[in-house]
Structure 1
Amino acid sequence: MRTLQHAISFKKYHGTGNDFLIIDAAEPVPDRGALAGKYCDRETGIDSPDGGRRGADGVLFLGLEDRFTPPRIVMTLVQPDGSVAAMCGNGARCTAAWGHDQIGADEFMIDTQAGTRHAQIEDETITIEMGEPAFDPSRVPLSTEYNGPLIEDDVEGLTVTAVNTGVPHAVAFVADVDDVDLTAVAPAVRHADVFPRGANVTLASPIDSDDPTAGFRQRTFERGVEGETRSCGTGAVAVVAAAKRTGRIETADPVTVTPPGGTLEIVVPDRGPATLAGPVAHEFDGELSVVVPGE
C-alpha cells in the first residue's frame, strides 16, 4: 500500500506557558504518538512564526459536540513521548479557550480519561474543575507495600507527598525551588518503584515564609514530557492539596501558585472538587504534514 502526505490544520495555545498544539479529532492522523513526538520536540519541532519557543508540551486532539447544553469537548492529550495523559489542567483550560473560539460559548463540559470536568470562562480567566485530590495508595497509585498514604516520606533522597490530581504527583516542599537541580533529582523519583505508573515530580516553596497564605512557587518535571515545563495545572493543585494535608495551610480560599510561566489560582475545599483558574493565550495557527495510507 502506498502512502500520501496529508496537510492538517492546527492551532497553538498556552496556559501560563504550558503550550499545546490543538488538532480537531476528526483529522486523519494514523499515528498520534509519532506526530506528537515529531512536532513537540523542542529542538526540531513546530516553529513559531514570531520567534517563540519551538515545539510544545503535547498535542490536544479535541472533538466538539455542540448539541449538548453546555457543549461538550472530548479531550485526548498525547504527550511528546507518545503516551496519553489521563488529565491535564492547563490543557483542559486551553481546550475550553479553543471551544470558546469555535462557537462563542463560555461554559463547557470536558470529557477526559480522568472524568468529565466543568470549565467556565469569565473575561480573561478560565476555571476548570479538577476533581477531588486523592491520597489513597490505590488511587495515586502506589506500590502494594503502602497500606496508607505516602505523606512526607523519603523517595530517592527527596521528601515527598504523593497525591493524584488527575495524574500522580510527588510533591516536595523545599526552602527555594530555584536552589534545587530539578532535572538532576526528578528522574529517580519519577521512575521510583513506589510509583508503578510513574509520577510527576513537583517542587514547591512558600512565596513568603512568614505568611503561608501568600501562596507557593512551583516547578514540575512532567511524566510524558520527561522534562520541566513552564507550568503544570495538576501540579499546582497537587501543591495546595499537599500543603493542606501536611498542615502548611488550612484555608479553603483561593491560593496563589506561581510556576515559571505565570500565576494560577487554586481552590482545594475541605470536601468536593478542586478548581484551577488562570489565563490562556492563542499563539498562532498553521499546518502539519502527516503520512496517511493511500489507495
Structure 2
Amino acid sequence: MSVPFEKYDGAGNDFVVVDADDGAVEDRAAFARAHCDRETGVVDGAGGRRGADGVLFLSLDGDTDPATVTMTLVQPDGSVAEMCGNGARCVAAWAADRSGASTVAIDTPAGRRRAVVEEEVAVEMGTPTFDPGAVPLAGDDPAIDATLDELDGTPAAGLSVTAVNTGVPHAVVFVDDVEAVDIDAVAPPIRHADTFPEGANVTFAAREGDGYRQRTFERGVEGETRACGTGAVAVAAAAARLGHLSDAGETNWVTVTPPGGELGVAVPDDGPARLRGPAEKRFEGELPVPGGEQ
C-alpha cells in the first residue's frame, strides 16, 4: 500500500507532507523512520536531496475563517515534536495551496499558531520563555549565559548556555564563528545534559552585521539540520535577553541565517515572536506504507 505525499522546503528544512485525513498511515513513527533517512529515504526523480527532517501529518478544515489545519510533526527518530517553525511555515503554504486562504490557523501540540502567506510565509511562534519550569530545566533557576559544571571534561566544557523554550527547548550558545564549531562533538553533551531533563536542541550563533549566523543540532533528528525555525527564534530571544539587540521589537526584524537560507525573526517584549521566510513545494508522488498491505 502507498500514500500520496508532497515534499516542502522551508529555508533548508525539508518535510514530507501527508494528508492525515485518509488514515492510510497507522504507524507514523515507522513511516517517518523509513522515509526521512538521509541515505535510504525519499528522493525526487531528479536525484535531489534524499530523506527529510520530518513528516508533517496534516488535517485541513478550509471551511473555517481563517482556514484551520492540525499539524503533527513526526521526526526521523519516530518522536513527535511539539513545534517546528519552518515546518509550520510549510504547513501554511500547503494549506494556502489547497484552500486559497492567505491566513491560516495552525493547531500544534504547543498551541495554535497564526500564519500569513504572502511572498514569504510568516508565522506566530508563541512567547519565548526562560522560566526553568517551562524550558524545562532540572533546577529552579534560569540558565542565562551560564556555564554548566556537568560539561567539564567534554568538548562543550566552558561554553556559556542560555536556555529558552520557543515551542521546544533550546540551549543557545553564542560563539565567535559558527563554522568553526565541531557540532557533532560539541552539541551532544549539551543536548543530553542532566540540566535538560527532556533534552534540548542545541543552537550555536555568531553575530554577523546586524543579525546572526546559526547552526542547530536538533533533538529527534539527532544531528545538524540545514535550518531550524524555533532555533532562529531562540537566537533572537536569547540575544534580546542578554541585551545584544537594542532595536528588537514587534516591527524590528532580526536576520538569522542558518545554512539553508535566510530567516527573519521579531521578538516583541509583550507578545508572540514571529518567524518569516521562504516555504515552497518541491515535488510530489507516492510512498509505500511500512507494514501496509500491498
Q: Same fold (TM over 0.5)?
A: yes
> Residue 105 of structure 2 corresponds to which residue in structure 1?
109
Contact 1:30 1:292 in 2 (8 A): no
Other-structure match for 2:185:
184
Contact kept in structure 2, 1:36 and 1:82, CA below 8 Å: yes
Question: 1:103 deviation in Å?
Answer: 1.4
Q: Which moved more, 1:252-261 or 1:23-32?
A: 23-32
- What displacement does 1:49 show? 1.6
Structure 2 distance, partners of 1:292, 1:205, is 45
Q: What amino acid is the match of 2:71?
A: M
Percent identity among equivalent residues? 59
**CA shift at 1:292, angstroms?**
5.5
CA distance in 1, matches of 2:69, 2:18: 12
| 1:41 aligned to which of 25, 30, 37 | 37
Q: Aligned equivalents of 1:181 and 1:197: distance in 2?
A: 23
> Contact 2:30 / 2:290 at 8 angstroms: preserved in 1?
no
Deviation per CA, 1:45-77, whole angstroms, max 9, x where unpaired? 111222211000000000001121001000000
What pairs with 1:51-62 in structure 2 (closer than 5 Å)?
A: 51-62=47-58
> Which residue in the other structure is 1:269 paired with?
268
Whichever residue aligns with residue 143 of structure 2, its letter is L
State the distance in 1 between where 2:130 and 2:34 align.
35
User: Residue 13 of structure 1: CA displacement?
Assistant: 0.3
Q: Distance in 1 between matches of 2:4 and 2:271?
A: 38
Query: What is the number of residues matched between the two proteins?
Result: 281
**2: CA distance between counterparts of 1:173 and 1:67?**
45
Which one is further off, 89-98 or 284-293?
284-293
Q: 1:247 offset after TM fit, Å?
A: 1.1
| CA deviation string 1:168-204 (max 9, x = no partner) | 0000000010011011110110010000000000000
In 2, Cα distance between equivalents of 1:133 and 1:71:
25
TM-score by length of 1: 0.93
SS at match of 1:244: helix
- TM-score using structure 2 length: 0.94
Question: 2-side partners of 1:68 and 1:37: how far apart?
Answer: 33
CA–CA separation in structure 1 for the residues paired with 2:165 and 2:137: 10
Cα distance between partner residues in 1 of 2:164 and 2:110: 14
Q: How do residues 64-213 of structure 1 correspond to structure 2 at under 5 angstroms?
A: 64-122=60-118, 124-143=119-138, 146-155=139-148, 156=151, 157=157, 158-208=159-209
Q: Post-superposition shift, 1:148?
A: 2.1
Superposed CA offset, 1:271-290 (max 9, x none): 11000000112110010111
Can you list the C-alpha shifts for 1:236-268, whole angstroms capped at 9, x where unaligned?
Answer: 000000001011112211000000001001000
Q: CA–CA distance in 1 between the matches of 2:244 and 2:108?
A: 31
Judge conservation of contact 2:67–2:99 (CA < 8 Å) in 1: no
Segments ≥4 residues shifted beyond 4 Å: 291-294
Structure 1, unmatched stretches of 5+, are 1-5, 209-213
The CA deviation at 1:133 is 0.1
Gaps of 5+ in 2: 152-156
Which of these residues, 11, 18, 32, is aligned with residue 16 of structure 1?
A: 11
Are the equivalent residues in 2 in contact too, given 1:29–1:292 (CA < 8 A)? no
* 1:291 Cα deviation after fit: 4.2
- Tell me how large the CA RMSD over aligned residues is: 1.0
